[in-house]
Amino acid sequence: MRLYSGTSDLRAMQALTQRLGPRDARWHIGELVWYRYATLPPAAPGRAPEDLDRDPSLPTALWERDGEIAAWAWVDRPAELSLHHDPAYPELVDEILRWFDETAQGDRRTVTVLDAETDLIDALRRHGYREETGTGDEEGHHDEDPFFIHLRRDLAGLPEPVVPAGYTLRPVRDERDAAVRAAAHRAAFSRPDAPSKVTEASYARMMGIWPYRTDLDWLVEASDGTPVAFCLVWPDEHNREAVLEPVGTDPGHRRLGLASAAILGALHTARGLGMETARVAARGDEAYPSARATYRSLGFRRTGRNVDFVR
């Protein structure tokens, strides 16, 4: 086991995720980049860029077997664990959970997995974890507890993107768009009690990390040039599956089909690059139905859900 030290370890984590395939796992190679780098804190004066890769709020470890990465895990402080492991090494789950106990803060522990990761779920139960949320109905709904579902669609037969009069759809050009792209994200996702952590600096840095591509990062601009909706798609050329992360619309411009247009613009490009399927994670509970409805209107269908196990 070793602690995460930089983008070379990110590539090792991505290699494991790519090797195991996206169908029965929570993570895609693009989501690893977005989650780890889009919300990094700004560099303090005199702080080396490499220090950002060792953010103490996100301790991360990798496990190696026979010369290749067999598992990785990180802890969102105080005590939320995400992990991915090769089922050929089931004993690694025990090691990961011991490391989690040593690294987490407080008494409560939470581990989030995909419902298809049955071997991992069995191991969590052996370690005394229990499922926190209900199973929901056949559509993945649950009345009280927030959770995420995975939705997929084949990229054949995509409709063409359409925006209303006065709006413009385009891909990101280069790092010069980092400021407006980050501003659009903050407008879509910030709340008074939870401002977005995405900044121009963090977005620009993320743009330099594989497999980010500007031609898969799409914006809708209002008539004054303000970006008001967006979709970022990440490609996995090995598995030919793209993932949407993130997608959003400024609250003042919602219900106009702008996010749908950005999604379709990005997915048409992804299909041209050889992607055959696309996946997105959306809230599955009734508190946030709009994003789920947008994806379903574009042909995405539920294929799995994230489940929290607690102890």
pLDDT tens across 203-249, in order?
999 999 999 999 999 999 999 999 999 999 999 999 999 999 999 99
- 181 part of a folded domain: yes
Write down the pLDDT at residue 124.
97
Would you give the distance in Å from CA 227 to the centre of its chain?
A: 22
Distance CA 38, CA 33 (A): 7
For residues 292-311, average pLDDT = 97
The tally of domains found in the chain comes to 2
pLDDT tens string 174-196? 999 999 999 999 999 998 888 99
Residues 46 and 161 in one domain: no
Sign of the torsion angle spanned by Cα atoms 108, 113, 116, 122: negative
Distance CA 8, CA 12 (A): 6
Residues 46 and 110 in one domain: yes
Write down the pLDDT at residue 192.
85
Range in 103-112, 137-146, 276-285, 295-304 the model is least confident about: 137-146
Q: Share the mean pLDDT of the chain.
A: 92
- End residue of a domain, out of 97, 115, 131: 131
- End residue of a domain, out of 93, 116, 131: 131
Range of the domain at 58: 2-131
Residues 219 and 124 in one domain: no
- 290 part of a folded domain: no
Distance CA 294, CA 270 (A): 19
- CATH number (domain holding residue 47): 3.40.630.30
Residues 42 and 94 in one domain: yes
- 287 part of a folded domain: no
HEC profile of 77-96: CCCEEEEEECCCCCHHHHHH
Beta carbons within 10 angstroms of residue 57's beta carbon:
11
pLDDT > 80? residue 134 = no
CB 280 within 8 A of CB 247: yes
CB 309 within 8 A of CB 122: no
Confidence class for position 54, pLDDT limits 50, 70, 90: low
For residues 138-146, average pLDDT = 56
Would you give the distance in Å from CA 110 to the centre of its chain?
A: 18
For residues 148-153, average pLDDT = 97
- 286 part of a folded domain: no
pLDDT tens string 90-115? 999 999 999 999 999 999 999 999 99
Which amino acid, one-letter code, is at 42? P
Residues 228 and 125 in one domain: no
Write down the pLDDT at residue 23.
83
